A = this chain, B = another copy of it.
Amino acid sequence: MSKLTGVVPPVCTPLTEAGEVDVASYRRLLDHLIDGGVDGLFVLGSSSEVVYLTNDQRRLVLETAVEHVAARVPILTGVIDTTTPRVLEHVRVADELGVDGIVATAPFYTRTHPVEIDRHFRLIKEASSTPLWAYDIPACVQSKLGRDLVLSLAADGVLAGVKDSSGDDASLRYLVLEARGDGRFDDFSIFTGSELLVDTALWFGVDGVVPGLGNVDPVGYVNLYRAARSGDWETARREQERLIMLFDFVNVGSRSRPMGGNSSAIGAFKAGLALQGVIDNGRTADPQVQLNESELETIGGYLQRAGLAVPVA
């Protein structure tokens, strides 16, 4: 695979009322994203509720994606688990099914250290020839991947890319600047996980974006990306601002009732997909709180104001 760039949404995982993977809905979601023009798909990322899925469910998700996408776009998959031995189990499944990249975080739950994080990625790389991406998500794993660590792993051929969901764009920008113009990093992909600062991240030099909100509005992010790449920054900004106002729907649940941020945010993404008719229902996995009718109605208002067609019930 040549260097990946562009819009690579972290695909949500539709569930049945019983909490099982809704394969039919999932296939429709994959088509919805590919039809929207995305450049790749990131399955089993945080937005997929990967940490809420059993190993069997993860395999089913990945099998479905590989089969249904049928190489129309590249697939990255999360191999997210607490430490190396558990991650390697997911790597084996990914290698067996065949993907274009695997994406791992630093170890979590345990007290780790940069020297161990470095070793973690190197051990994963030794076990698989699939391109390996680092997923920098300190809000979930409590460790920030330092730019020296990332660049050293990239220079040694361990990492093919990084997805930066740290929210620290100053750090991300240093990474971009240090990689630029250094031949060792020509094939190294730097992606932002931000939904809200995509035009600016593209402006300062990232290669692509992994926007959770891209599930709900893939066309928006694709338009944003293409406008930016063509130098039409005004259009990119206008599209970004529209998406920012939409993104605020992630707070509908948590503003209305006690619930966790994931229930509220992933609940909004899935509600946005269900309200557009892409997936059958917006259920999130246990033990998350389900959005209620009133909250779904509020979310519907956000979709309409963002110009997304919501079929009449």
Contacts and interface: CB of A to CB of B under 8 A. Distances in A.
Interface string A169-181: 1100110010000
A94 to B, nearest CB: 15
A307 interface: no
Nearest to A195: B170
Interface residues of A, number: 65
A302 interface: no
B116 A84 contact: no
Contact of A110 (B51, B83, B107): B51
Given A108-B109, A142-B142, A200-B203, A288 B177 contact: no
Contacts of A199: 203-204
Contacts of A177: 241, 244-245
B85 A19 contact: yes
Contacts of A83: 51-52, 285-287
Interface string A13-57: 000000100000000000000000000000000100001111101
Copy count, this protein chain: 4
Contacts of A262: 110-112
A204 to B, nearest CB: 6
Contacts of A142: 142
B168 A196 contact: no
A58 to B, nearest CB: 10
Contacts of A55: 55, 89
A288 B259 CA distance: 28
A267 to B, nearest CB: 12
Interface in A141-193: 141-142, 167-170, 173-174, 177
A119 to B, nearest CB: 4
Contacts of A54: 85-86, 88-89
Contact of A84 (B88, B233, B287): B287
A251 to B, nearest CB: 10
Contact of A51 (B86, B114, B244): B86
Contact of A260 (B112, B261, B287, B288): B112
A237 interface: yes
Query: Which 5 pairs show the lowest CB-CB distances between chains A and B?
Result: A111-B261, A200-B200, A113-B260, A51-B82, A119-B287
Given A111-B262, A170-B196, 4 more contacts: A52-B84, A170-B194, A170-B197, A174-B196
25 contacts: A19-B85, A51-B82, A52-B83, A55-B89, A80-B109, A83-B287, A85-B286, A107-B287, A110-B260, A112-B262, A113-B258, A113-B260, A113-B261, A115-B259, A116-B259, A119-B286, A119-B289, A120-B286, A169-B169, A169-B197, A173-B196, A174-B248, A199-B203, A200-B203, A204-B237
Interface of A: 19, 46, 51-55, 57, 80, 82-86, 88-89, 107-117, 119-120, 123, 139-142, 167-170, 173-174, 177, 194, 196-197, 199-200, 203-204, 233, 237, 241, 244-245, 248, 258-263, 285-289
